[in-house]
């Protein structure tokens, strides 16, 4: 019988999970949609995300229509009525192209979500490995610091940091950021979510370090760094991939909250969260300005979470069995996949 690698087996299990694959496909489609922003902006809409068109007119079926009327009401969706210009209408009283901003805003939302999760995963992995492997004072110091951060409600802590950093920027020696830098929300989100990843990673390291393969590596003279990064880390990759995938959705939601409250992505840049904030004021007259970016956030987070769940089931089938056992629907071990 031919031996199969765990990765191949995971791939086979994932391939069988049609729902997860469908949502994975949706996520890829959203990423492609956002990456196509410059193409749409240059070739179709012929504008940029921050260009204002307040007093301009656009020709729709031979009729010149104001982008923003004298009372400040923006143009609704034109679809292809003006050759793709103002496909989703104007974004508000500034008359910016909503579709172009949606695509560029998505790039920022995804970028912030992915990069902040990468940073949080990296930090959490290093801290979890050190705390779990060394234990003792290193574990005590790291765990207590994490506990302190954990003690604050995530959103409130992020808002407080966002408010102060949006005003004064960040000045930590060589790390200097102005208040409207995109890296400000990225670092805030990474900082507040690191403990939520570091804790379970530490737990897994504590469990793995007692395994025979670690003892074998140590007996062969492997040093702590080699054990941590050469033996323990590869055995946690599947866990990290799942954490990362689910973290992206969670971090995108936090970014949206911060930007909606005006302490995340700073204008004139936009993200889906700040687009909801901008559109909220016009919700009674132009509800689509809130509904469209809100739907994009919903779809993206849903897609990434369902795909992340599927990935977790594929990479760690025992976890699914454990979950189902809790729910009282466990199948006999060995027939779960």
Partner 1 sequence: MRKLHAALAVALLTMVAIGVSSCGGSSGKEGGTLTGSYASFPDYLDPALSYTAEGWTAMYNTYLPLLTYKHADGEEGAEVVPALAESLPEIGNGGKTYELTLRQGLKYSDGTPVKASDFASSVERMFKLNSPGSPFYTGIVGAEEFAAGKADSIAGIETDDKTGEITIDLTSPSGTFTNELAMLFVALLPPGTPAKNLTTEPPPATGPYEIVSSEPGRGWSYERNPQWAKANGDAIPEVPAGHVDKIEISLVRNSATQVNEIERDKTNWMQTIVPADLYNKVKDKYEGTQFRVERPINLYYFFMNTTQPPFDDVKVRQAVNYAVDTAALERIYSGALTAAHQILPEGMPGHEAFNLYPHDMAKAKALFKEANPSDREITVWTDNESPNDEAGAYFDDVLDKLGFDSTLKTLSADVYFTTIGNATTPDVDAGWTNWYQDYPHPNDFFQPLLAGESILPTNNTNVAETDVPELNEKITKLGEEQLGPEQEKEYAALDREYMELAPWVPYGTNTVSTFVDSEIELDEVIFNPTMGQDLTSFQFK
Cβ proximity to partner 1, 5 vs 284, nearer residue: 284
Query: Alpha-carbon distance 233 to 129, whole Å?
Result: 8
In the complex, minimum distance from the CB of residue 52 to partner 1, in angstroms, rounded to a whole number: 5
Q: What angle do CA 30, 36, 39 make, to 5 degrees?
A: 160
In the complex, minimum distance from the CB of residue 97 to partner 1, in angstroms, rounded to a whole number: 13
Cβ proximity to partner 1, 51 vs 233, nearer residue: 51
Query: Alpha-carbon distance 226 to 129, whole Å?
Result: 12
In the complex, minimum distance from the CB of residue 266 to partner 1, in angstroms, rounded to a whole number: 6
Q: Is-contact 294 276, C-beta < 8 A?
A: yes
User: Which residue's structure tokens are 């995340």?
Assistant: 264
Query: Alpha-carbon distance 11 to 19, whole Å?
Result: 14
Give SS3 for 170: strand
In the complex, minimum distance from the CB of residue 74 to partner 1, in angstroms, rounded to a whole number: 9
Cβ proximity to partner 1, 281 vs 324, nearer residue: 281
Cβ proximity to partner 1, 44 vs 163, nearer residue: 163
Q: Rg of the Cα trace of the chain?
A: 24
Cβ proximity to partner 1, 77 vs 179, nearer residue: 179
Cβ proximity to partner 1, 283 vs 291, nearer residue: 283
Q: Is-contact 238 317, C-beta < 8 A?
A: no
In the complex, minimum distance from the CB of residue 96 to partner 1, in angstroms, rounded to a whole number: 9
Cβ proximity to partner 1, 156 vs 325, nearer residue: 156
Query: Alpha-carbon distance 314 to 318, whole Å?
Result: 9
In the complex, minimum distance from the CB of residue 92 to partner 1, in angstroms, rounded to a whole number: 7
Q: Which residues bind partner 1 (CB under 8 A)?
A: 50-52, 54-55, 68-73, 92-95, 163, 166-167, 179-180, 262, 266-268, 281-285
Query: Alpha-carbon distance 47 to 52, whole Å?
Result: 9
In the complex, minimum distance from the CB of residue 149 to partner 1, in angstroms, rounded to a whole number: 25
Cβ proximity to partner 1, 55 vs 295, nearer residue: 55
- Got the DSSP string for 124-160? HHHHHHHHHHH-HHHHHHHHHHHHHHHHS-HHHHHHH
9, 19, 231, 317, 322 from 12: Cα distances, Å: 5, 14, 25, 12, 20
Query: Alpha-carbon distance 186 to 181, whole Å?
Result: 9
Q: Specify the DSSP element, H or E, that contains 58.
A: strand 57-60
In the complex, minimum distance from the CB of residue 138 to partner 1, in angstroms, rounded to a whole number: 40
């Amino acid at each position: 019988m031919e031996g199969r690698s765990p990765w191949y087996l995971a791939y086979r299990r994932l391939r069988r999970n049609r729902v997860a694959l469908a949502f994975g496909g949706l996520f890829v489609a959203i990423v492609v949609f956002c990456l196509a922003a410059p193409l749409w902006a240059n070739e179709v809409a012929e504008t940029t995300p921050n260009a204002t068109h307040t007093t301009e007119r656009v020709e729709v079926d031979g009729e010149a229509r104001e982008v923003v009327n004298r009372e400040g009401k923006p143009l609704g969706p034109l679809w292809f009525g003006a050759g793709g210009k103002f496909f989703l209408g104007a974004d508000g009283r500034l008359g910016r192209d909503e579709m172009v901003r949606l695509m560029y805003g998505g790039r920022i939302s995804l970028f912030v979500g992915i990069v902040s999760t990468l940073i949080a995963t990296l930090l959490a992995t290093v801290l979890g490995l050190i705390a779990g492997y060394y234990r003792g004072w290193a574990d005590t110091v790291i765990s207590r610091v994490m506990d302190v951060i954990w003690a604050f409600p995530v959103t409130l802590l992020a808002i407080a940091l966002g408010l102060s950093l949006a005003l004064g920027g960040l000045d930590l020696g060589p790390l200097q950021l102005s208040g409207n830098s995109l890296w400000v929300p990225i670092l805030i989100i990474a900082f507040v979510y690191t403990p939520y990843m570091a804790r379970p990673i530490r737990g897994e390291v504590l469990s793995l370090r007692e395994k025979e393969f670690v003892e074998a590596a140590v007996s062969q003279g492997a040093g702590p760094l080699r054990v941590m990064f050469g033996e323990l880390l590869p055995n946690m990759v599947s866990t990290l991939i799942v954490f990362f995938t689910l973290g992206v959705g969670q971090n995108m939601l936090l970014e949206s909250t911060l930007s909606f409250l005006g302490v995340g992505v700073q204008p004139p840049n936009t993200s889906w969260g700040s687009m909801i904030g901008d559109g909220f004021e016009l919700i009674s007259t132009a509800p689509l300005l809130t509904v469209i970016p809100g739907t994009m956030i919903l779809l993206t987070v849903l897609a990434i979470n369902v795909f992340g769940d599927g990935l977790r089931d594929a990479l760690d089938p025992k976890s699914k069995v454990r979950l189902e056992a809790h729910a009282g629907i466990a199948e006999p071990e060995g027939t779960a996949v």
